[in-house]
A and B are shown apart, each in its own frame.
Chain A
Amino acid sequence: MSLFVRRQIPIAIVAITSIVVMADYFLKIPQTGPVVKDLQNWGVILSAYALGFGAVNLFIVHTRHISKRASGQWPFSIWLLFILAVFAVVGVFIGPSSAQYMWIYNASYFALSATIYSSTGFYIASGCYRALRARNAQAVILLIVGSLALIRNAPAMAAGFPIFVDIDAWLNSVPTTSAQRGIMIGAALGAIALGVRTMIGRETAFLGRRTEAER
């Protein structure tokens, strides 16, 4: 396959698609509406396909681990494939809203996910106790702001001492929003630069790994 077909055509497709989608978003050109609608629905289908592809890839990778008896890994791979098969079979043949599927979901995935996420509360509590210590000037600032956030977020304290709510509101409105705006604007400028470079063919990571000839 020639370099033109492998490189220039995909870049042209990306550039044209980006221009059409942006024109529809910013300029509201009636002619682009139906085209963009189709493109977006293709995007939804491709995203759904990627999920299925991910499951197949997971199956292949873990089947390899099992066949090679990868040290410290293969028993977990068997368990993973077993769970994958159980969820897939029950979901496809009985339905993802069936009582059976919901029971498996609630008894395993839901309970485990909630437990893992909730357990971070203990780490954060221990982290606060150790990190919020006035060792130097910066640590004093962290201690003051952290303590204010702790007190303000305790509903009983916020009710008893509304001054903490006002201080927290100022912290959120002024320093936090200002800093966050700076981060967001910086990230947005980076994204715009990346988009323009991709459209003009200067950014080709989406084409995959390049061969020596292409370099």
Chain B
Amino acid sequence: MNLKMSTLWRRLEDIPREVLYALFLIAFIIPMLNPFGLPIPISADVRKWFQTIDALPPGSAIMIDMGYSAGGEPELGPYAAAVGHHIFKKGKLKSIYMATSIDGVQLFDLLMGEVKPEQYGAKYGVDYVHIGYIAGTETAMAAVGKDIRATTSTDYKRNPLDQMSVMEGIKDATSFKLLICYTTGGDQSEGWVRQWVTPYKTPYLSSVLALMIPTMLPYYKAGQIVSLVSGATAGQYELLNKLPARGIKSADVVSVTHLLIFAFVVLGNIAYYARKASEGAKKGG
């Protein structure tokens, strides 16, 4: 009996990864196809991000860095889209997009395809523009902060910036009321602090991969970042926006998969101690 129990516990202690992968796949697919509508609490940081944009006076310019790669799009894309909806819905704000990631231009086209700024009456060149991928990461941030037109005189489609009304009055970092960065890279998220926040005191909102949050916390706690969130909080922003989209759907997936992992962690520990106990009883008996 003890031998049977010991074997059972050993199996539960070392479930084959194929079985785990299959169960996680099911846990991904079911809420994705049929969202449960599990509760989503809105964190203080997401609320602060939302309020910061809401409080911008009409005519304010926002620098937005599309600093994420294609691999990070499933996490950061929904958040960037939710913020895009908010900015264009609010209206009378100038969005100047740039890319410090080489994928930033293509991801901008995807983002605009999802947000559809024209549904809010926003026009390219009038309310928003993308000045393209600018190589050099921190050097690019510093150069754009000093003088945008000296760094690039055209947008990503090679249209002259001087012919776009959205660029009127925009010269350097001091022309911006807000800086937003979505990124999968530490160079970008930290670089903006060094190149814009410290010298120009530009308020900074940063959305990074969840695993990057700990590395950004010292900047946040020092007050150099107004709001620091992971892309996985897109569902919360969508709730504030009252525009449910990809984020809310993925929040259910995050809840279910995290709880499944936790259940397996508990099961693994119970099996570990039960196996030790049954082996101890066997030796003792």
Chain A residues with CB under 8 Å of chain B are: 25, 33, 36-37, 40-41, 43-44, 46-48, 50-51, 95-97, 101-102, 105-106, 109-110, 113-114, 116-118, 121-122, 125-126, 128-130, 132-135, 143, 146-147, 150-151, 153-160, 162, 165, 172-173, 176-177, 180-181, 184
Prevailing SS type, chain A contact patch? helix
Contact B106 A43 (CB under 8 A): no
Residue of B15, B43, B255 with most partner-chain A CB within 10 A: B255
Contact A25 B215 (CB under 8 A): no
Residues of B within 8 A of A40 (CB): 139, 142-143, 146, 151
Contact A44 B140 (CB under 8 A): yes
Cβ of B244 to closest chain A Cβ, rounded Å: 14
Cβ of B147 to closest chain A Cβ, rounded Å: 6
Prevailing SS type, chain B contact patch? helix
Task: Report if B82 contacts A (CB, 8 A).
Answer: no
Contact B72 A134 (CB under 8 A): no
Question: What are 23 A-B contacts defined by CB distance under 8 Å?
Answer: A48-B135, A48-B136, A96-B156, A102-B109, A105-B106, A110-B110, A113-B73, A114-B70, A116-B71, A125-B257, A126-B17, A129-B20, A133-B268, A134-B269, A134-B272, A147-B262, A150-B261, A151-B259, A156-B38, A159-B38, A165-B41, A180-B217, A181-B218
* C-alpha spacing A162/B106, complex, angstroms: 39
Residues of B within 8 A of A43 (CB): 136, 139, 143
A-B interface, 5 closest residue pairs, ranked by CB to CB distance from nearest: A117-B71, A47-B136, A47-B135, A159-B39, A154-B258
Contact A147 B265 (CB under 8 A): yes
Contact A37 B73 (CB under 8 A): no
Residues of A within 8 A of B137 (CB): 47
Nearest A residue to B43 via CB reads A165
